[in-house]
Amino acid sequence: MLRAALRLHPQSVILNNACGVMQAALGRPRDAVAHYRQALRQEGAEPGVWTNLGNALTTLKLFDSAVACHDAALARAPNDGLLHYNRGISLAEAGHHGAAIAAFTAALRHAPDHPMAAWDRARSYLHLGNLAAGWADYEVRLRNGLVPPRAVPGTRWEGQPYAGRRLLLLAEQGFGDMIWVSRFIAHVKALGGDLIVESPPELAGLHRAAGLADRVVIQGDALPPADFHLWQCSLPGLLADSIAALPPAVELTPTPSVRARFQPIFAPADGKLKVGIIWSGSTSFGRNSERATRLAPFIDAFDLPGVQLYSLQKGPPAQELADAAADTVVDLGPLLQGFDDTAGALSHLDLIIMTDSAVAHLAGTMQRPVWVLLGRNAHWLWLAERTDSPWYPSMRLFRPRGEDDWSFVFDQAAKALWHRLEQPRPVLR
């Protein structure tokens, strides 16, 4: 309909802007840019056209150009909170988190009810390691729908002792979030009372084996009565206001029987460095393409003499291993039905090299050496510019020099692996 209208009125600002919005919604940012620019060639273009162009350029990773467009929009409407928010998104995507925080703060000043400005400001604060400010904004996820509302028992827990009463910790977000936040649960248990932890079924076995709570209930099952409740990712806001205050990770380890089940699989590689690889997280995550890569560069970089590679990849990306017919890589994927199985496999590996996904958190809690290969705009948990992680002392981070700079990341990790092969082999616990 828009194209038909544009054939009749090709210079229309309104129609070109509307067609740009539609193309952007369909995942066609280049087509959207063309329509926005056509609209801006005409008289009467509103500030919204400038900021829409900035949004499309951000999708194309032309960040400086995007910010310039948002600045042009704000020059025409300086009190529009949405324009400040869009500018903040472009700055955050470019990694300029300090400037992004200022933009999100301006957005909230002009539009206090903006549903996402506090959330995105939280992530920029957390990228910079300002946990106190980040956690305060992080709570907005419970009000803006990022965490779906549900009926829960009891009143919100505020960190007080609860001896003689029951506290329910609610599951939320992804598997990785449920793993990194588990470190706070031991402190909660020490405050006394009856502690119940809700867990995704894939993680429930590890949570039970770790003795985190008096009872673990499966996410999706009926919730038991409780005096208090708290969403699990709200725990750090109560318990850790700085990087220095982070408690050590709770070790989520496999049961002896699960560990023993994997022993025969790794026995043939005795004498070699046993290296697990994962090249993609869950494909259901909307931005997985930015953190994932392909199998081929893993083989190019890490299939070295003295190394035995093991694939821990699950989901559709695992098909790459079958297609590649890479007979030097042992496929563990069919044996991994849950995170307890994955933990069993990790316990036999000397090193795990992977892109960002939940298994990185699991390896970190198990104190296994894990190298995480990061894209340019990495998750806030990995902070900014660091090669180590205060969350997991056994972790090493490999970062690119710029956008889509995976070759540099793999080259640096391959060099590190050569050095690792020259070192004495530690004894597995």
Together in a domain, 232 and 287: no
At 118, list the tokens: 């506090």
Residue 258's identity, in one-letter code, is V
Q: Give domain status of residue 147, yes or no.
A: no
Q: Give domain status of residue 298, yes or no.
A: yes
pLDDT tens sequence across 260-300: 999 999 999 988 999 999 999 888 887 888 889 999 999 99
Together in a domain, 301 and 381: yes
Which spans in 351-405 are helix H?
358-365
How confident is the prediction for the chain on average, in pLDDT? 94
Q: What is the arithmetic mean of pLDDT over 190-197?
A: 93
**Range of the structural domain that residue 213 is part of:** 155-240
CATH number of 93's domain? 1.25.40.10
Q: Which residues contact 123 (CB under 8 A, 6 or more apart)?
A: 92, 134, 380
The domain tally of the chain equals 3
- Residues 171 and 178 sit within 8 Å (Cβ to Cβ): yes
Q: Give domain status of residue 363, yes or no.
A: yes
pLDDT tens sequence across 135-159: 999 999 999 999 999 999 999 999 9
Binning pLDDT at 50, 70 and 90, where does residue 359 land? very high
Q: What is the arithmetic mean of pLDDT over 173-196?
A: 93
At 374, list the tokens: 């990061």
pLDDT at 326: 77
Task: Report d(CA 212, CA 205) in Å as an integer.
Answer: 11
In three-state secondary structure terms, 336 is coil
Together in a domain, 413 and 281: yes
Q: Which residues contact 104 (CB under 8 A, 6 or more apart)?
A: 84, 85, 88, 117, 118, 120, 121, 124
pLDDT tens sequence across 213-265: 999 999 999 999 999 999 999 999 999 999 999 999 988 989 899 999 999 99
Other C-beta atoms within 10 Å of 42: how many? 13
Q: Give domain status of residue 145, yes or no.
A: no
- Residues 112 and 121 sit within 8 Å (Cβ to Cβ): no
Give the angle 59-62-65 at the CA atoms, nearest 5°.
Answer: 120
Q: Give domain status of residue 426, yes or no.
A: no
Q: Is 355 exposed, middle or buried (0-12, 13-18, 19+ CB in 10 A)?
A: buried
Binning pLDDT at 50, 70 and 90, where does residue 425 land? low
From residue 51, give the alpha-carbon distance in Å to each of 20, 61, 65, 170, 231. 12, 15, 11, 38, 35
CATH number of 219's domain? 3.40.50
| pLDDT(186) > 90 | no
In three-state secondary structure terms, 229 is strand
pTM assigned to the model: 0.92
Q: What is the arithmetic mean of pLDDT over 32-52?
A: 94
